[in-house]
Amino acid sequence: MSDIKENLRIIQKEISKLSPTLVAVSKTKPISDISIAYEEGQRVFGENKVQELCEKQEALPKDIEWHMIGHLQSNKVKYIAPFVSLIHGVDSEKLLKEINKQGEKNQRKINCLLQVHIAEEESKFGFSTDELVCLLASDYEETYPFVNITGLMGMATNTSDTNQISNEFKGLNKLFNSMKMEHENFTELSMGMSGDYKIALECGSTMIRVGSAIFGKRNYKK
Ligand SMILES: *Cc1c(COP(=O)(O)O)cnc(C)c1O
């Protein structure tokens, strides 16, 4: 009897790894909206502004995993270092160095994803493939002992051309898979937002960042 339960638990755990982590992107949305999602069992939330992230973390239940999803300035790492669960958009060695420093101060290893530039647009941040290969070939685990690099993150071009989006995601997945073989901590591939998460899942995403499809359109006027 107890074996059946145990077996079931093991299998459930195994298959649950195949389903992606849903990061509910709550940026610009009020605490009350987050509470509704929380009551539905959602525990992973993403924000892209440090101040907003800190205020919400302070006000909401402590079992929420907070992800920093947007571009992060080095001088603001210190505010989120004590509690952040995952930083998605690490796009420079300068930032990595600062995260390591703040990780040491807080005596915790901070989980990070390296952002890769896959989109056509110039404006999207991220490492080029060459820069990434170079960083990963270095002794980065010794250089940054308070950083735990758990995978890659990317954003596709903002286009209605689904073929292009799919090709960009597939390219990132290929890169991820090749790196996974040598870097055992590489378990997460963060790609896919409200408009393209279904394509991203077909292309190997393990983590999708969905905002407006959950919370509705954002109103940026303050
Ligand atoms: C805002 C944002 C998202 C979510 O965007 P939606 O289109 O609302 O799902 C995902 N990733 C990043 C980096 C973002 O800044």
CA distance 48 to 73: 11
Query: In this model, does residue 3 exceed pLDDT 90?
Result: no
Tell how far the Cα of 211 is from the centroid of ligand 1, in angstroms.
6
Whole-angstrom Cα Rg for the chain: 18
Going by pLDDT thresholds of 50, 70 and 90, the confidence category of residue 216 is confident
Q: What is the pLDDT of residue 174?
A: 97
Q: What is the pLDDT of residue 193?
A: 95
Query: In this model, does residue 163 exceed pLDDT 90?
Result: yes
- Measured from CB, residues less than 6 Å from any atom of ligand 1 are 25, 27, 48, 69-70, 193-195, 209-213
Contact between residue 84 and residue 109 where contact means Cβ atoms under 8 Å apart: no
- Of the listed ranges 49-53, 169-173, 211-215, the least confidently predicted one is 211-215
Torsion of CA 158, 126, 65, 166, to 10 degrees: 40
Q: What is the mean pLDDT of residues 173-195?
A: 94
* Protein residue with least CA distance to atom 6, ligand 1: 211
Going by pLDDT thresholds of 50, 70 and 90, the confidence category of residue 17 is low
Tell me, what DSSP letter sits at residue 190? E
CA distance 142 to 183: 14
Atom of ligand 1 nearest to the CA of 213: 9
Query: In this model, does residue 24 exceed pLDDT 70?
Result: yes
pLDDT in tens, 34-82: 998 998 889 999 999 999 999 999 999 999 999 999 899 999 999 999 9
Query: In this model, does residue 210 exceed pLDDT 50?
Result: yes
